[in-house]
Structure 1
């Protein structure tokens, strides 16, 4: 810090006193071709009692924006009628979220328009809440800056400094918010929410506000390595889920929430992604978002264009209502109104010439206009004549001595040059602290050499800074970006980086060590630009900065900001000294590990492998030290269903002492013997005995258990089901021999599907699932996990419970996974939930809407199996909803599958399931038969996935129908035999207690009765039973098909009236299902029969 010099402007040369390391300003004159009058400033910031000769800036109203105000209010009231809490029930109705885009050049008055127009209407008249957050060009690396500041402002409005509430935060409202936070987030989610938004703690009543500006606190490197587990995308999903719950809760308990985000062009990528998630979340209601951005920032045009395009897309899907307001310059009459307001004059004609001149000089820019008028007043061009008791000005003098310019920064800088040298130094220092700062921070970087109280009072009086209200601490904010920019421009360009570096060092040395995490983004914003460009930075400073960048990268990682994490971690690596792996192993490991993760999260495989190789080639590191790097690679390859994920898992397990046979033959033999062995052994054990096994504490064993689960999942995803089963057997063996590890319950729950496939034994499957649940409770208490729910809801529960029960478990698994950051398993849960909805015959348009909501997450993260499944499912629903009569040349789902999902074995099998249901729903039983013969029973390919039930039913049904329609005796017998084989499987499952196949069996019994030539009453009774069972279970499509088939049966008997009745009922069920094309087909095909029934 010695030798630092601070150049502000002109020949000013304040320097650092080497003994005290504090700034020592030296007075000097500053020349300028056109500046404010240089005059001494008062030591006190008090406004003089005589104000008749002052321009009334603080009382100035909004002028020239009547049309924009009317547009805003009309748009607001269109969706949110007036009435406040007396109309509370209205805000519970589903409404599209409102989004307003407000654009204009800097200084045109975007923020003032929004604040003056909406605060009164939203809060006083509608009993809602309004808050605005701001992004900062100097803090673009700080994730979620604008969103966090807006949310903190909402909380601040909810809670006053004495712990009471204001008018829209009733005790009932706060109780409801508190209750929902506790129920929806759980302890971990709440902890994260409080760390990100400290004021939440006051609503929860769990202590005083933690004074955090940035979300995380300092942690040790080893603790951070242990806490992240190498899954950046999971951290992102967890944080976004927490934010969504925050907005869901506020929007649920308040009639209207309006959040403005200023200077959106400087927003970080993570903020944009979060906003997209909020707009796509149908549970977030009563929300208006206002995006304000500069239209003249060419560097950010692409980002704003992408945001606008996404918003238009959401508008086309009726997810949002969108309005755009472009704010232009003020007209002469508007400028005249402002002058009259400032001068407290009534006669508009008296100021017309002055208004015209001001309009020419400022281009009608609102902020520039006010700065220009202030300059005229300060320099005597505009003054109050006490003799005449009116304002006077010399128009010719103003015309001749001022020039037209639209550079408000230069004008403001000229104004600042009339300040004393001390004040110019303080302005420059303040500009380094961001768009807002606390007085104590300014005291730190000024080293107590200046009267900051007097300076802040003058800066407020001159309209450069404003004191934020509602805070115990003294926090100030620049009145406009241009003012901050002008203050920063006082520092000569060639000295700017060094000046900011020295200010950053002063701030770092002046804050308490425990507060480093709060200031980390501001400090590094000041330190990094110079440090990364310096060739001779001392070693101790490089190491200090490398550690700070590591801290910032961990915080950004936890905040899921990939771009910020990448910047900080690469900065930290660049600052490491030579031979850093030997001299600073822990720091190097932390930085390179996060670099591996962040490159994998960005899908940069080569860069990910390069950083990983630097860690993996360090022989002095243990396998436990390297696990996060291995997991980052495994996760990356796993999302692509790449065999490398399996190979890497096997390599890691080998280092942990766990090995598998490599040949397929040996794997099959080993799996068969293991299944037989554990079937016998588990029958001897009670649930109590299994749950009372000791808990393993060895980190190697616990990591082995976790990696076995990873391998099981990735092997299954790449089609190596035998290896997946062997992982489960190995997990079972380790658990029974050594005790319960953190992953034992997952191993047991995945064992159940293999028992189902191997032995077709529902009872044994249910028993093993019970063992798994007991282990989960032993290890995790009542807390569930997404992975457990996924396997239970997809593979185990449907065999003993209804579809609705499985759906509840899967959806709860999704919520848990998002809340706890278990992103992959959460998406597996929602994927299984969606295809369960499909086979459970949920209303098709509703299902399509749900698929659209969750597609973005799966596409964004390229999550392998869930993504491919969602793609197939979406295409299947689209095919069913396509009501065009042109079917010639249309591809089937199976024909499209190759291009949609590639070589994904599990989803290739699922494509057969979906295609079978499409053929069944559209009555194309010949193609359904061909598909059944081609694919056979899919039980092994799908393990015990519940999709087996409809698949086997659709195959059996199509085979029975085709058997009835064929005249060839041999073919008829073959088809009947194939159908009966599948029919018998379903009968056994129904007998063993599976509730979801009972109506399938009833429908097949009716078809078999027709094939056997049974009596009319027998067939009718069987089909009536099937219709009742289908409708009662919510299987609308099956009820429709059953009615249609019974109608065709009566048609064959010549009973057109009864046939017409059944066809009409079938049409109603098809329409309820959303399959209007099939209903239209029946109407067209059997018009006469339906008319006969109607006219009976």
Structure 2
């Protein structure tokens, strides 16, 4: 007989060796030694499932598990995996427990964790520091917070999808690993191995952690033939016959996600014959196997009601995890109706719901496919809807969503709002000691500006400062040059001098001393009739260049005087 039945979630087979290794790392953490382990593998190979299995075991023995993940969607704030993990802890921790854990560092943490002032009340402002010092202070505060949380019980920090992590997240990860080496903290992450070559920041972080002997990387291989048979048995409740097992093993190439999608497609189309003791392939045309994962997806979603599929496509633009209330506002549908459609998607195994009103695509490959099915015109329209909904919520003070607003408006065709929120998101990223992410927002703002917009000069200048803070000196030179050209053609002598001074500082960091001196002297010439703070800064930079970099102490003293 043929039976249509849902497949169980979170089935893990064939990973005992890796599971044992990961559990050993967690147990070593309980003795007060930080460990970092990364699980690598192709999409669908079971990385996230393995992480969840370790997390479940850690919770069973009294460990605390904090979960976060990076996102492929643009417009995400810097440090997203840490924000999700620590934000979740702040929202659920008892106030009498949280306050002493963050008391001395709360103002610093609040620069990236808005949940803190909401939970603890108004905090005193921390005094401003230069960007490099502010970043160091933030990293130290996050590390101390994690270490303090781990005092009462071992802490497992899950960081999923690190192939999409921003540079700031990866830098913070390396800093925590290096400076909290004796804390009871186990960091367990995952990334797609086929993405590594195109992610230089992740590659550099892995190299640094490996060089410091702080990292173990486990690469998940495709399942063996016997593992595939066991997985089918666990999914169906009865063992497969040899033909079914062989066929699924060969066609899925041992990839658990692909295998489950193929098996689900057969169940839903009557391609399997089930008896109380055996599962086999039905001798019918319906049992023909799709040629690719895209074919599987296409057949799977064709069986969903059209209105459910349209709702899922809109949800895919919101991201891997989304709120049903936000989705309802975006598509203009009643909340109850949206919930019914999402329930149908859950029953089909497309979504899962871990928290009220929060839904997650069961695998990001599913979200990627749905997103690719949305036409460009409709994407622009939905991005605009999302932006306007988030804008209202921002005005109500409900969330700090500047990066998302910038992204959605930039991709909606609303250039005015796109520029405004990109500029605000860049400034917020600089305050959060994430200059690399600030650069991305400034680039977006400049790309959206009309040629004659008066903000060109100021944005180019800000881009130069962000690039200088990020250690990308040559891009800083280019940005400062663009700013100086703009201010030369739209006369503002002080602003042009500020841009020339920026070039000098960037050239000095590159140890291009002649170019640095020329740029700084040009800035001084522009300011010869202006007694202002910018003139003082240029003189200080020239004095430092002459005395420290060139060893010309008398000339340096002359500028200093």
Matching of residues 668-679 of structure 1 within 5 Å: none
Find out whether 1:246 has 2:128 as its counterpart.
no
The secondary structure found in structure 2 opposite 1:101 is strand
- Kindly indicate whether the alpha-carbon contact (under 8 Å) linking 1:69 and 1:113 is maintained by their aligned counterparts in 2: yes
- Kindly indicate whether the alpha-carbon contact (under 8 Å) linking 2:68 and 2:85 is maintained by their aligned counterparts in 1: yes
Find out whether 1:306 has 2:204 as its counterpart.
yes
Number of the residue aligned with 1:459 = 345
Matching of residues 610-1009 of structure 1 within 5 Å: 610-617=481-488, 621=492, 623=494, 629=499, 632-639=502-509, 642=513, 644=517, 647=521, 650-651=524-525, 654-657=528-531, 700=532, 713-714=544-545, 716-718=547-549, 719-722=551-554
Find out whether 1:342 has 2:212 as its counterpart.
no
Number of the residue aligned with 1:151 = 86
- Kindly indicate whether the alpha-carbon contact (under 8 Å) linking 1:562 and 1:602 is maintained by their aligned counterparts in 2: no
Alignment deviations for residues 73-123 of structure 1 (CA, whole Å, 9 cap, x no partner): 22333x335xxxxxxxx53xxx4x3221211111111111121123322x3
The secondary structure found in structure 1 opposite 2:14 is coil
2:473 to 598, 603, 612: 603
Number of the residue aligned with 2:424 = 551
Which is higher, the Rg of structure 1 or of structure 2?
1
- Kindly indicate whether the alpha-carbon contact (under 8 Å) linking 1:357 and 1:399 is maintained by their aligned counterparts in 2: no
Deviation at 1:569, TM superposition (A): 1.7
Give the 3 Å change call, closer, same or farther, for CA 567–290 of structure 1 in structure 2. Answer: same
Residues of 2 paired with 1:654 and 1:248: CA distance?
Answer: 53
Deviation at 1:430, TM superposition (A): 0.7
Residues of 1 paired with 2:221 and 2:75: CA distance?
Answer: 27
Give the 3 Å change call, closer, same or farther, for CA 551–301 of structure 1 in structure 2. Answer: closer
Number of the residue aligned with 1:363 = 253
Find out whether 1:111 has 2:54 as its counterpart.
no
Residues of 1 paired with 2:383 and 2:389: CA distance?
Answer: 10
Alignment deviations for residues 796-817 of structure 1 (CA, whole Å, 9 cap, x no partner): xxxxxxxxxxxxxxxxxxxxxx
Residues of 1 paired with 2:136 and 2:345: CA distance?
Answer: 43
Deviation at 1:558, TM superposition (A): 3.0
The secondary structure found in structure 1 opposite 2:35 is strand
Residues of 2 paired with 1:614 and 1:513: CA distance?
Answer: 38
Deviation at 1:524, TM superposition (A): 4.1
Deviation at 1:196, TM superposition (A): 1.3
Alignment deviations for residues 210-262 of structure 1 (CA, whole Å, 9 cap, x no partner): xxxxxxxxxxxxxxxxx999x654554454344334334334x2443322222
Give the 3 Å change call, closer, same or farther, for CA 417–73 of structure 1 in structure 2. Answer: same
- Kindly indicate whether the alpha-carbon contact (under 8 Å) linking 1:340 and 1:351 is maintained by their aligned counterparts in 2: no
Give the 3 Å change call, closer, same or farther, for CA 648–475 of structure 1 in structure 2. Answer: farther
Number of the residue aligned with 2:8 = 57
Residues of 2 paired with 1:544 and 1:355: CA distance?
Answer: 55
- Kindly indicate whether the alpha-carbon contact (under 8 Å) linking 1:56 and 1:342 is maintained by their aligned counterparts in 2: yes
- Kindly indicate whether the alpha-carbon contact (under 8 Å) linking 2:111 and 2:431 is maintained by their aligned counterparts in 1: no
Residues of 2 paired with 1:726 and 1:298: CA distance?
Answer: 51
Number of the residue aligned with 2:378 = 499
Residues of 2 paired with 1:414 and 1:65: CA distance?
Answer: 30
Deviation at 1:267, TM superposition (A): 1.8
Q: Unaligned 5+ residue runs, structure 1?
A: 1-36, 38-51, 82-89, 165-170, 209-226, 532-540, 582-586, 658-699, 730-1096
2:281 to 384, 390, 395: 395
Give the 3 Å change call, closer, same or farther, for CA 608–510 of structure 1 in structure 2. Answer: closer
- Kindly indicate whether the alpha-carbon contact (under 8 Å) linking 2:114 and 2:400 is maintained by their aligned counterparts in 1: no
Find out whether 1:475 has 2:365 as its counterpart.
no
Alignment deviations for residues 557-607 of structure 1 (CA, whole Å, 9 cap, x no partner): 3334444333332232232224323xxxxx334312212223444111641
Alignment deviations for residues 834-885 of structure 1 (CA, whole Å, 9 cap, x no partner): xxxxxxxxxxxxxxxxxxxxxxxxxxxxxxxxxxxxxxxxxxxxxxxxxxxx
Residues of 2 paired with 1:393 and 1:248: CA distance?
Answer: 50
- Kindly indicate whether the alpha-carbon contact (under 8 Å) linking 2:498 and 2:534 is maintained by their aligned counterparts in 1: no
Number of the residue aligned with 1:522 = 404
Deviation at 1:306, TM superposition (A): 3.5
Residues of 1 paired with 2:314 and 2:422: CA distance?
Answer: 23
Deviation at 1:422, TM superposition (A): 1.6
- Kindly indicate whether the alpha-carbon contact (under 8 Å) linking 2:45 and 2:255 is maintained by their aligned counterparts in 1: yes
Alignment deviations for residues 149-171 of structure 1 (CA, whole Å, 9 cap, x no partner): 23323434x52xxx47xxxxxx5
- Kindly indicate whether the alpha-carbon contact (under 8 Å) linking 1:100 and 1:291 is maintained by their aligned counterparts in 2: yes
Give the 3 Å change call, closer, same or farther, for CA 174–130 of structure 1 in structure 2. Answer: same
Alignment deviations for residues 7-54 of structure 1 (CA, whole Å, 9 cap, x no partner): xxxxxxxxxxxxxxxxxxxxxxxxxxxxxx9xxxxxxxxxxxxxx974
- Kindly indicate whether the alpha-carbon contact (under 8 Å) linking 2:35 and 2:185 is maintained by their aligned counterparts in 1: yes
Residues of 2 paired with 1:395 and 1:134: CA distance?
Answer: 38
RMSD over aligned Cα atoms: 3.7
Number of the residue aligned with 1:567 = 440
TM-score (norm 1): 0.45
Residues of 2 paired with 1:404 and 1:410: CA distance?
Answer: 5
Give the 3 Å change call, closer, same or farther, for CA 640–373 of structure 1 in structure 2. Answer: closer
TM-score (norm 2): 0.84
- Kindly indicate whether the alpha-carbon contact (under 8 Å) linking 1:265 and 1:300 is maintained by their aligned counterparts in 2: no
Deviation at 1:69, TM superposition (A): 1.1
- Decide which moves more: 325-334 or 296-305: 296-305
Matching of residues 144-223 of structure 1 within 5 Å: 144-156=79-91, 159=93, 163=94, 174=98, 176-179=100-103, 182=104, 185=105, 190-201=106-117, 205-206=120-121
- Kindly indicate whether the alpha-carbon contact (under 8 Å) linking 1:100 and 1:289 is maintained by their aligned counterparts in 2: yes
Residues of 1 paired with 2:508 and 2:221: CA distance?
Answer: 51
Give the 3 Å change call, closer, same or farther, for CA 237–571 of structure 1 in structure 2. Answer: same
Alignment deviations for residues 959-1013 of structure 1 (CA, whole Å, 9 cap, x no partner): xxxxxxxxxxxxxxxxxxxxxxxxxxxxxxxxxxxxxxxxxxxxxxxxxxxxxxx
Residues of 2 paired with 1:468 and 1:400: CA distance?
Answer: 34
Deviation at 1:391, TM superposition (A): 7.4
- Kindly indicate whether the alpha-carbon contact (under 8 Å) linking 1:597 and 1:629 is maintained by their aligned counterparts in 2: no
- Kindly indicate whether the alpha-carbon contact (under 8 Å) linking 1:646 and 1:715 is maintained by their aligned counterparts in 2: no
Number of the residue aligned with 2:390 = 511
Residues of 2 paired with 1:518 and 1:200: CA distance?
Answer: 13
Deviation at 1:291, TM superposition (A): 2.7
Residues of 2 paired with 1:150 and 1:628: CA distance?
Answer: 40
Give the 3 Å change call, closer, same or farther, for CA 269–398 of structure 1 in structure 2. Answer: farther
Number of the residue aligned with 1:354 = 244
Residues of 2 paired with 1:285 and 1:654: CA distance?
Answer: 56
Deviation at 1:292, TM superposition (A): 1.0
Residues of 2 paired with 1:342 and 1:438: CA distance?
Answer: 29
Give the 3 Å change call, closer, same or farther, for CA 410–489 of structure 1 in structure 2. Answer: farther
Residues of 2 paired with 1:475 and 1:590: CA distance?
Answer: 40
Residues of 2 paired with 1:630 and 1:283: CA distance?
Answer: 43
Find out whether 1:130 has 2:29 as its counterpart.
no
Find out whether 1:590 has 2:458 as its counterpart.
yes
Give the 3 Å change call, closer, same or farther, for CA 648–249 of structure 1 in structure 2. Answer: farther
Matching of residues 386-465 of structure 1 within 5 Å: 390=276, 395-397=281-283, 401-403=287-289, 405=291, 407-448=292-333, 451-465=337-351
Residues of 1 paired with 2:147 and 2:539: CA distance?
Answer: 37
Count of matched residue pairs: 545
Find out whether 1:272 has 2:188 as its counterpart.
no
Q: Unaligned 5+ residue runs, structure 2?
A: none
- Kindly indicate whether the alpha-carbon contact (under 8 Å) linking 2:353 and 2:359 is maintained by their aligned counterparts in 1: yes
Alignment deviations for residues 152-200 of structure 1 (CA, whole Å, 9 cap, x no partner): 23434x52xxx47xxxxxx5x6454134xx1xx3xxxx33422412333
Alignment deviations for residues 1024-1052 of structure 1 (CA, whole Å, 9 cap, x no partner): xxxxxxxxxxxxxxxxxxxxxxxxxxxxx
Residues of 2 paired with 1:335 and 1:715: CA distance?
Answer: 70
Deviation at 1:442, TM superposition (A): 0.9
Find out whether 1:293 has 2:204 as its counterpart.
no
- Kindly indicate whether the alpha-carbon contact (under 8 Å) linking 1:56 and 1:343 is maintained by their aligned counterparts in 2: yes
- Kindly indicate whether the alpha-carbon contact (under 8 Å) linking 1:143 and 1:268 is maintained by their aligned counterparts in 2: yes
